[in-house]
A and B are shown apart, each in its own frame.
Chain A
Amino acid sequence: MKFVEDQSSDDTLDLVCRMCPMHLLEPGERLKCMKTGQVLEVLTDYDGALDDIPEWCKKCGHEFIGIEEDEDCYKLYIKKKK
């Protein structure tokens, strides 16, 4: 697990309260609207996302930057690579 602190981002996707598989569907849609090199911050309270999103990034060719734990959710950072 790669942890980061004070990571900046270009857009935020709030998935708190939403269940599997939304954490694997919504980031792809949001990244389509972003430019290569930009960073997406994904907020989620679903533990499964901690394994799923890094794996999903590998499959889709995006860079998984890391995770930050917030008060009521996790923040996962993805850099768009293509």
Chain B
Amino acid sequence: MKGAYLDHASATPVRKEALDTMLPYFSEKYGNPSNVYDMGSKIRQVVEEQRAMVADLIGATAAEIIFTSSGAEANNLAIKGVAFARQKKGKHVIVSAIEHHSVLNSARFLERMDFEATFLAVDEFGCVDPNRLAKAITPETVLVSIMHANNEIGTIEPIVELAAVCKEKGIIFHTDAVASVGNTSVDVNELNVDLLSLSGASLGAPKGIGALYFNKKIRLMPLIHGGIQENGRRAGTENVPAIVGLGKAAQLAIKELPEKESHVRRLRDRLVQGILERVEKVTFTGHLVNRLPGHASFCFESVEGEALIFMLAQAGIYTNTGSACASKALKTSPVLGAIGIRADLAQGSTVFTLNARTTKEEIDYVLEALPPVVDRLRSMSPIWGKEMPEYAEDVCH
């Protein structure tokens, strides 16, 4: 049966090179990096080499990288860690309204801890306006967190401009780059950010590993207390095999990124053009130009995204609604609500994410199989062909 896997933002296979490099660290080279004898110190050295490889990928130095269990943990550490460390200076944080839940819910958690949080509005493409950010800053603001690229609509934010606003006012700036590292070029010096989160799963490393870049001048309150791992900033015996996988995946990404970007961009453009030509009443979401190269997102009118995902899966095509709210909580995605998509239209959200393994044949198969599936769902829809009110409602916060 023909098929297409276009849900690489959810899960992507571990690179064979990464897996091969990891395997000895499960059973042959199992020493604890904290041990002082040679079995441990050799592993410590390996961990530090991987740290340098991850740092290289984003233009950082090894001492500026903290390994975490995921991108979500890196986001939690950045937001809560900075907020708690700086709470004597002020108790106000700013995040955008379209952040990943690990950022949004960290900010909401801080609200419960007597901080104030501002959830910054975005424009119709999902972009945060630097002027709007400047106006939201108060003397109490200690941290701003704006994602580098949005996982649901693919938009790349103007991080350089946003970070500059914060630098000028002496406010710490964090960016969640989980969706972008490994998919487009990311350099902490060019972006001029103080903290940046990344995830191994986006890079072809295994799930369960991430990293936080932090400017060494920043104080960070640890969230996990215990031993001396990660220089006392994140306790817990290191997940050495996963760290080795992340290091290898980072090394491969540095070498392969330019070719990957051009490959996925070409196929993504073919997919977008093909869908817009073949399917009527479909809205392309996110920024038209400033977006992740392998990312295409749409809202199909009068179609339930969830139903579309299931029917496509029956045809061997794997995509995503892009939002846990839409998929599991049966609510409208906060991201689509924030960019002004009507609640009924937002229900038809479908996100396609490509990677270096994606082929032209997969894209052409999607273009062949998708239109009849959309037609079939619309033929069963009670709202197809009816006028809908022009407002967004029932947004999941």
Q: Tell me the chain B residues, 214-237 only, with Cβ under 8 Å from chain A.
A: 217, 219-222, 225, 228, 231-233
**Could you tell me if A22 and B88 are in contact, using CB atoms closer than 8 angstroms?**
no
**Could you tell me if B225 and A19 are in contact, using CB atoms closer than 8 angstroms?**
yes
Q: Tell me the chain A residues, 1-58 only, with Cβ under 8 Å from chain B.
A: 14-19, 21-22, 25-26
**Could you tell me if B85 and A18 are in contact, using CB atoms closer than 8 angstroms?**
no
**Across the interface, which residues of B come within 8 angstroms of A15, CB to CB?**
232
**In the complex, A15 Cα to B219 Cα: how many Å?**
8
**Across the interface, which residues of A come within 8 angstroms of B233, CB to CB?**
18
Taking A17-B85, A72-B88 as contacts, is the C-beta distance between A25 and B228 under 8 angstroms? yes
**Could you tell me if B222 and A19 are in contact, using CB atoms closer than 8 angstroms?**
yes
**Across the interface, which residues of A come within 8 angstroms of B217, CB to CB?**
14
**Could you tell me if B222 and A17 are in contact, using CB atoms closer than 8 angstroms?**
yes
**In the complex, A16 Cα to B233 Cα: how many Å?**
11
Q: Which A residues form the contact surface with B (CB < 8 A)?
A: 14-19, 21-22, 25-26, 71-72
**Could you tell me if B232 and A14 are in contact, using CB atoms closer than 8 angstroms?**
no
**Across the interface, which residues of B come within 8 angstroms of A14, CB to CB?**
217, 219
**Across the interface, which residues of B come within 8 angstroms of A17, CB to CB?**
81, 84-85, 219-222
Most chain B CB within 10 A, of A14, A15, A16, A17, is at A17
Number of B residues, CB within 8 Å of A: 14
**Across the interface, which residues of B come within 8 angstroms of A21, CB to CB?**
228
**In the complex, A18 Cα to B218 Cα: how many Å?**
12
**In the complex, A2 Cα to B288 Cα: how many Å?**
64
Bitwise interface map of B from 230 to 253 toward A, beta carbon under 8 Å scored 1, else 0 = 011100000000000000000000
The 6 lowest CB-CB distance pairs between A and B, nearest first, are A22-B232, A18-B232, A17-B221, A17-B85, A16-B219, A17-B219
Pick from A16, A26, A71, A72: contact of B231, CB below 8 A: A26
**In the complex, A27 Cα to B46 Cα: how many Å?**
24
**In the complex, A18 Cα to B228 Cα: how many Å?**
10
**In the complex, A21 Cα to B225 Cα: how many Å?**
12
Pick from B81, B85, B225: contact of A16, CB below 8 A: B85
**Across the interface, which residues of B come within 8 angstroms of A22, CB to CB?**
228, 231-232
**Across the interface, which residues of B come within 8 angstroms of A18, CB to CB?**
222, 231-233
A-B contact pairs, 23 of them (CB 8 A): A14-B217, A14-B219, A16-B85, A16-B219, A17-B81, A17-B84, A17-B219, A17-B220, A17-B221, A18-B222, A18-B231, A18-B232, A18-B233, A19-B222, A19-B225, A19-B232, A21-B228, A22-B228, A25-B228, A26-B231, A26-B232, A71-B88, A72-B88
**In the complex, A16 Cα to B216 Cα: how many Å?**
12
Closest to B89 in A: A72
| A14, chain B: closest CB distance, angstroms | 7
**Across the interface, which residues of A come within 8 angstroms of B85, CB to CB?**
16-17
**Across the interface, which residues of B come within 8 angstroms of A72, CB to CB?**
88
Closest to B216 in A: A14
**Across the interface, which residues of B come within 8 angstroms of A25, CB to CB?**
228, 232
**Across the interface, which residues of A come within 8 angstroms of B225, CB to CB?**
19
Known: A18-B233, A19-B222; 19 extra A-B contacts, CB below 8 A, are A14-B217, A14-B219, A15-B232, A16-B85, A16-B219, A17-B81, A17-B219, A17-B220, A17-B221, A17-B222, A18-B231, A18-B232, A19-B225, A19-B232, A22-B228, A25-B228, A25-B232, A26-B231, A71-B88
